[in-house]
Amino acid sequence: MFDAKLRPLIDPPLNAAGRHLAGIGVTANGLTFTGLALGLGGAATIALGHIGWGLALIIANRLCDGLDGAVARARGPSDLGGYFDIVADFAFYVSIPLGFGILSAANTLPALVLVASFVLTGVSFLAFAVIAAKRGDTTEAHGKKSFFYSTGLAEGTETIAVFIAMCLFPAWFAMLAYAYAGLCALTVVQRSALAMTAFRD
């Protein structure tokens, strides 16, 4: 919901940093896998009860995620890089609820519900992208991407805001998880309605 609106604010500094990193030999895929390792490390530290460190690693993951795209734009994007980027993103997204689910038995059910909602949102997102590509549709609302990014109520910005809230207020995990799972479900409905309009023959 807010990703496209934040692009004009975050892209200029990210692109400047990306050009610098590309100039010294840093690769987009290297940043993608570094970010994935940091994100999974964040989930592991949360599972072990070190939620403050988990939050720090979540933020580090998001910084790498922003920089890998900037480096890709500076060096020239690749289809393989786009593939690695989206797989790493979804692996990170599901790992954080998993970490909270391992942390406490009381978190298990809300964590499962949230992960299930992420799966449904991801399926709707990727299915829309596949069909949009087949039809030759394009968009740069989220910047230059390797494939079509459809807008939704629950996107990266909202997800990270919820993860930060979970780390700051871990006792509220269940409430936050159920509420955000509901928003993800609404996103699937919204994207499906958009598909009915965009893909009507």
For residue 5, the model assigns a pLDDT of 57
Nearest to 11 by CA among 90, 70, 94, 76: 70
The domain covering 3-198 belongs, at the CATH homologous superfamily level, to CDP-alcohol phosphotransferase transmembrane (TM) domain (1.20.120.1760)
Nearest to 129 by CA among 85, 34, 195, 37: 195
Q: What is the pTM of this model?
A: 0.85
What does the DSSP assignment read for 90-125?
HHHHHHHHHHHHHH-GGGHHHHHHHHHHHHHHHHHH
**Residues in the chain, pLDDT under 70:** 1-11, 137-152, 201
Look up residue 22 and give its amino acid: A
Count of C-beta atoms within a 10 Å radius of residue 24: 6
Which residues contact residue 63 at a Cβ distance below 8 angstroms, ignoring those fewer than 6 apart? 35
Task: Please give the mean pLDDT across all residues of the chain.
Answer: 87
Report yes or no: 19 and 74 within 8 Å, Cβ to Cβ. Answer: yes
Phi first, then psi, for residue 143 (nearest 5°) are: 85, 180
Rg over alpha carbons for the chain, rounded to the nearest Å, is 17
